[in-house]
Chain A
Amino acid sequence: MSALVADVVAVRVPERTWRSEARAVKTVWRRDMIRFLGNRAQTMTWLIQPLLFLFVLGSGLQSLSAASTDGVDLKTFIFPGVVCIAVLFTAMISAASLVWDRELGFLREMMVAPVSRTSIIVGKCLGAATIAASQGAIVLALAGFVDVPYDPVLLLGALGLLVLLAFTVTAFGVLVAVTIKQAQTFTWVMQMVVFPMLFLSGALYPVAGLPAWLEVLNRINPLTYAVDPMRHLVFSHLDVSEAARRTLDPGVTWFGWRVPSLVEVGVVVLLGLAMMGVAIRRFSRTD
């Protein structure tokens, strides 16, 4: 037995500092990356739905919509929305891994570690957001197939937007994940919250001239404020008629005021931070 333990490698656990917390954030993030990269085939299947929207729904409805889109292909029109949908789905599914961690026991390993609950949540948000953003980037890379130019400013801007959206949706998903305790409930949330969010967001239709009830629901939907600047960015790089621009990229208005993209982005970021804050508070309660 003594031979077994003769050369003990001495280690010690240091006191908590901001550096150890940063390391914990990175550790939680890196775990998500390892799992994501080890499971690429599976995560790729999460893209099927957005791609169905883009290529199947987009192509299928093209003949119906041709009369009203002033020469703009429907696929081109819904492209920015579909990028957001890809981010939305992936971020929610990635955030749900926290529920699985609880179910499969791994959460306890993190809970008893000498790190703050804040670091665990922040790491988780960043991890799931990174995965969601990379999935969004894959869809973004298909721009050429739907006549959206590969313009560096457009691509970088869209990338920045989808990173922010990924973070906010993840924060929402993590908030749901720390609130509910069972994996089945998360599926229910996807059905009852995520799909309505998707359909109310204007990802698949213009947000002007909606019936009043739909307009209200659209304006209180956080996803609206990610889709709109994304669409605006894409349309500013398209060569389309003024009429098409007015119909297809009317912009979100609050009581007649056209909300600038920067304000919309601000809404997305603030919502994300607020939801992460609530998630941290809830997660920090023991017992």
Chain B
Amino acid sequence: MHPFIPPAIEVEDLVKSYGEVDAVRGVSFAVPPGEVFGFLGPNGAGKSTTINMLCTLVTPTAGTARVSGFDVVTRRDEVRRHIGLVFQDPTLDLQLTAAQNLRLHGDLYGIGAEVIPARMDQMLRMVGLADRRDQRVITFSGGMKRRLEIARGLMHSPRVLFLDEPTIGLDPQTRSSIWRYIRALQESEGTTIFMTTHYMDEAEFCDRIAIMDRGEIVVLDTPEALKAGVGADRVVLGTADDDAALAALRDRFGIEASVAEGAVTFHVENGEAFVPRLFAELDVAITSVAVSRPTLDDVFMRHTGTTIRDAETGGPADLNRAMMRAMAGAKR
């Protein structure tokens, strides 16, 4: 991070309350320019509310936030000039063609009329919709619409691109191509990317991740550091004699293993380095070995005590979520 460039996003003690319910309860973080920053958490954790405050659509109850150096409350216009947005819900005009949607965006953002066609072609090529430019959006599939929204969000070269669940409900192929665009963009224009997701596997594409639960950031770090924080890798062994293997592991390595689902399973730091030693020193025949690194699922579980899936289907945060849905409905 360059010492003279201000953070792309700077948030201090940001709070948003709807009546009695605190949707966001005092979050603080900073995102350096050019970073891909992920907000991970279950529905209703406060991710979308935070994004809405950062992109000036919702006024914070307390705290401050600056985007591209501008305060989101007092310098709203400046913030809007410097950000791009891709919402969770579609915001395209379905009656217009892809090209008409992009042109409309360029006009609203005041981009020079002479560069709009070239920029538009480039964006459409990037998301693979160049051959669809003159078709009405109503004929597009869900994935095509989302790609077009991303192209539109980038039309005006934003300094910060906000993506609220950009890949939700999309097939894996479209999801991975969307990730390609996001990375390409970050390389070409140095765009800072702030995104929310509740897909654990996607969060790993981010440079840093904040895990949010019930309106608070519970932990913030790189995916690697977060996973390292969870600790040991999981090693699963298939052996000729499980009992002998258990005994040998205990005697020789001091590891308490157990048999789970028909295989010897144990946890050890730095599992990949451990496996060669195991082969050399264990005098029981090994038929298979699998080492798995901790995933962000493990991270989320460790910091919130529940999995994302469970967090979305029950528990005390439900009231918060119900309230959020009610608010979202009322806003419309």
Contacts and interface: CB of A to CB of B under 8 A. Distances in A.
A286 B57 contact: yes
A10 B157 contact: yes
B119 A13 contact: no
B257 interface: no
B266 to A, nearest CB: 40
A200 interface: no
B115 interface: yes
Nearest to B154: A11
A34 B118 CA distance: 22
Nearest to A99: B332
Contacts of B96: 31, 34-35
A258 interface: no
A12 B332 contact: no
B82 interface: yes
Interface stretch (B177-185, B267-275, B304-312, B313-321): B177-185
A116 to B, nearest CB: 8
A23 B115 contact: no
A114 B185 contact: no
A105 interface: yes
B127 to A, nearest CB: 10
B93 A31 contact: yes
Given A1-B187, A102-B332, A286-B59, A9 B104 contact: no
Most chain B Cβ neighbours within 10 Å, of A8, A108, A111? A108
Interface string A101-124: 011111111111111000000000
A113 B80 contact: yes
Contacts of A16: 77, 81, 110
B95 A110 contact: no
A39 interface: yes
Nearest to A287: B59
A4 interface: yes
B177 to A, nearest CB: 11
B111 A23 contact: no
Interface residues of A, number: 43
A112 B80 contact: yes
What band does the interface of chain B fall in when counting residues whose beta carbon is under 8 Å from A?
35 or more
Interface in A92-147: 102-115
Interface string B61-93: 000000000000000010011110101011111
B115 A11 contact: yes
Contacts of A13: 81-82, 109-111, 156-157
A152 interface: no
Given A5-B187, A20-B110, A35 B80 contact: no
Interface in A11-39: 11-16, 20, 23-24, 26-27, 30-31, 34-35, 38-39
Nearest to A119: B108
Given A34-B100, A108-B91, A11 B111 contact: yes
A4 B184 contact: yes
A4 B182 CA distance: 12
Interface string B36-74: 000000000000000000011111000000000000000
Given A112-B80, A287-B58, A23 B110 contact: yes
B175 interface: no
A5 B184 contact: yes
A7 interface: yes
A181 B125 CA distance: 37
Interface of A: 1-2, 4-5, 7-16, 20, 23-24, 26-27, 30-31, 34-35, 38-39, 102-115, 181-182, 286-287
Given A2-B187, A12-B111, A31-B104, 6 more contacts: A11-B111, A13-B156, A16-B110, A106-B91, A106-B92, A109-B91
23 contacts: A1-B184, A1-B187, A7-B122, A8-B188, A11-B106, A11-B111, A11-B115, A11-B119, A11-B155, A13-B111, A15-B81, A23-B107, A23-B110, A34-B95, A105-B92, A107-B91, A109-B152, A112-B85, A113-B109, A114-B109, A286-B56, A287-B57, A287-B58
Interface of B: 55-59, 77, 80-83, 85, 87, 89-96, 100, 104-112, 115, 118-119, 122, 125-126, 152, 155-157, 180, 183-185, 187-189, 330, 332
